[in-house]
Amino acid sequence: MKKLDDSVRQKVNKWLEGNIDRKTKEEIRSMLDNGRHEELTDAFYKDLEFGTGGLRGIMGAGTNRINKYTLGMATQGLANYLKTQFPDEEIRVAIAHDNRNNAVPFANIVADVFSGNGIKVFFFDGLRPTPELSFAIRELKCHSGVMLTASHNPKEYSGYKAYWGDGGQVLPPHDRNIIAEVQKIESVDQVQFKRDNDLVEIIGEDMDEKFIEAVAATAVNSDAIRAEHDLNIVFSPIHGTAVDIVPRALHKLGFTNVNLVKEQCTIDGNFPTVVYPNPEEREALTMALKQAEESGADLVMATDPDADRVGIAVRNEKGEFELLNGNQTAVLLFHYLLNAWESAKKLTGNEYIVKTIVTTFLIDKIAESKKVECYNVLTGFKYIGQLMTRYMGEKRFIAGGEESYGYLVGDHVRDKDAVVSCTMIAEMAAYYKSKNKSLFDALLDIYSEYGIYKEELISLTKKGKTGAEEIKEIMTNLRNEPPLIRGKKRVLKVRDYLALTETDVDEQRVNSIDFPASNVLQFYTEGDYIVSARPSGTEPKIKFYISVNGKLSSPADYRKAEKAMAEEIELIKKDLEF
Last residue of a domain, one of 195, 219, 249: 195
Residue 491 pLDDT exceeds 60? yes
> What's the whole-number average pLDDT of the chain?
94
Structural domains of the chain, count: 3
pLDDT tens-digit readout, 337-392: 999 999 999 999 999 999 999 999 999 999 999 999 999 999 989 999 999 999 99
Q: Note whether residue 346 is domain-resident.
A: yes
Counting Cβ atoms within 10 Å, is residue 268 exposed (0-12), middle (13-18) or buried (19+)?
middle
Last residue of a domain, one of 195, 221, 241: 195
Residue 434 is among the residues annotated as catalytic for this protein: no
pLDDT tens-digit readout, 542-553: 999 999 999 999
Predicted pLDDT of residue 484: 53
Domain check: are 379 and 505 in the same one? no
d(CA 545, CA 412): 30
Q: Note whether residue 109 is domain-resident.
A: yes
**Which residues are within 8 A (CB) of 394 and not within 5 positions of it... i.e. 6 or more apart?**
none
Predicted pLDDT of residue 178: 87
Least confident of 139-148, 184-193, 442-451: 184-193
| In contact, 226 and 151? CB cutoff 8 Å | no
d(CA 155, CA 285): 17
Average pLDDT over residues 101-112: 98
Q: Note whether residue 25 is domain-resident.
A: no
CATH number for the domain that contains residue 75: 3.40.120.10
Tell me the pLDDT band of 51, cut-offs 50, 70 and 90. Answer: low
Residue 102 pLDDT exceeds 80? yes
Nearest one of 123, 165, 92, 537 to 358, comparing CA atoms? 537
| In contact, 416 and 406? CB cutoff 8 Å | yes
Using DSSP bridges, classify how beta strands 310-315 and 351-356 pair: parallel, antiparallel or unpaired. unpaired
Q: Note whether residue 480 is domain-resident.
A: yes
Residue 1 pLDDT exceeds 60? no
Average pLDDT over residues 36-52: 84
Q: Percent of the chain beyond pLDDT 70?
A: 97
Using DSSP bridges, classify how beta strands 233-236 and 258-260 pair: parallel, antiparallel or unpaired. parallel
Residue 6 pLDDT exceeds 70? yes
Q: Note whether residue 420 is domain-resident.
A: yes
CATH number for the domain that contains residue 537: 3.30.310.50
Using DSSP bridges, classify how beta strands 373-377 and 406-409 pair: parallel, antiparallel or unpaired. unpaired
Q: Note whether residue 113 is domain-resident.
A: yes
Domain check: are 139 and 269 in the same one? no
Average pLDDT over residues 224-244: 98
What predicted TM-score, i.e. pTM, was given to this entire model?
0.94
Domain check: are 246 and 269 in the same one? yes
SS3 95: strand
Domain check: are 520 and 433 in the same one? no
Average pLDDT over residues 16-23: 94
Domain check: are 439 and 356 in the same one? yes
CA distances from 209 to 245, 251, 252 (A): 10, 13, 10
| In contact, 144 and 297? CB cutoff 8 Å | no
Average pLDDT over residues 316-342: 97
| In contact, 374 and 345? CB cutoff 8 Å | no
Q: Note whether residue 89 is domain-resident.
A: yes
Domain that holds residue 444: 211-450
Average pLDDT over residues 422-430: 98
Average pLDDT over residues 242-262: 98
Domain check: are 223 and 236 in the same one? yes
Last residue of a domain, one of 450, 468, 497: 450
pLDDT tens-digit readout, 259-274: 999 999 999 999 999 9
pLDDT tens-digit readout, 64-85: 999 999 999 999 999 999 999 9
Predicted pLDDT of residue 382: 93
Instruction: Name the residue type at position 341.
Output: W
For residue 271, is it left (φ>0), alpha (ψ between -120 and 50) or beta? left
Active-site option among 115, 134, 151, 421: 151
Q: What is the DSSP string of 176-215?
A: HHHHHHHHT--SGGGS-----GGGEEEE-HHHHHHHHHHH
Tell me the pLDDT band of 537, cut-offs 50, 70 and 90. Answer: low
More confident residue, 23 or 183: 23
Domain check: are 395 and 536 in the same one? no
Q: How big is the CA angle at 163 (ends 162 and 166), to the nearest 5 degrees?
A: 170
Least confident of 300-304, 325-329, 397-401, 466-470: 466-470
Domain check: are 252 and 346 in the same one? yes
Residue 116 pLDDT exceeds 50? yes
Domain check: are 90 and 221 in the same one? no
Length of the chain measured in residues: 578
Domain check: are 290 and 343 in the same one? yes
Domain check: are 469 and 412 in the same one? no
pLDDT tens-digit readout, 128-152: 999 999 999 999 999 999 999 998 8
Q: Note whether residue 36 is domain-resident.
A: no
Residue 486 pLDDT exceeds 60? no
Q: Percent of the chain beyond pLDDT 90?
A: 84
| In contact, 24 and 61? CB cutoff 8 Å | yes
Domain check: are 362 and 337 in the same one? yes
d(CA 316, CA 509): 46
